[in-house]
Amino acid sequence: MSSPEAALWWARSRAEGPLRVPSVTRTPAGMLRLVERDGEHCWLLTRPPDDVTPAMLRELRMQVLPVEFPNETRRVLAAALRCCWTDIQASPWPGQPATMREVLDVVDQLTPGRGEEVLHRFGMGAFRRLNASRWLDIDDDVQRVCLGPRVATWPDQDLPALRELCRELPPPRPDREPDR
């Protein structure tokens, strides 16, 4: 069940975040394997005991490492979820790709009245943070936003609330540049 390799995989995942490896890699003990759409790579995520998440620390009134600009970051993640999680009866990961414009348009509708420049600057910062932490998988070159492997760690218990969130959020407005 436990092995030196598993220990190393876990430690590496802790140091580097979810690991993207070729699909031929054997799944190390206790890790979750998420195969990417193309099937050539998969993500390895650690499965904590009883799938406990950092959210539990709030119950203990303990601090987790703070996120920079938490509200903006959360808003962008929610908007991305709204755009990418098209079939909300299915699991959020991997979802469908969306464009940065669509995601920022949803953000724009949530916080109307902000200038395009501000929206873009905050949005890009949030994209960068979410991409680094693998909540989102962003391809800057083609302005594409996908949900990152971490969304697969959301417990089933939270999914109704997330679905409700998606139902409440406005969809991206088609063929309309955000506040230009």
Binding-site ranges for another protein (CB under 8 A):
1-2, 6-8, 10-12, 14-16, 29-30, 46-50, 52-68, 157, 160-161, 163-164, 167
User: Within its chain, how far is the Cα of 164 from the centroid?
Assistant: 17
CB of 8 to another protein, least distance (A): 6
Nearer to another protein, 66 or 174 (CB): 66
Rounded to whole angstroms, the Cα distance separating 87 from 173 reads: 18
Taking the least distance from each CB to another protein, the nearer of 3 and 111 is: 3
What is the smallest separation between the CB atom of 30 and another protein, expressed in angstroms? 3
Q: What is the DSSP string of 79-128?
A: HHHHHH---TTS-SSS---EEHHHHHHHHHHHSTT--HHHHHHHHHHHHH
In angstroms, what is the minimal distance from the CB of 70 to another protein? 10
Nearer to another protein, 38 or 168 (CB): 168
**Closer by beta carbon to another protein, 167 or else 180:** 167
Strand order in the sheet with 98-99: 98-99, 144-147, 136-139
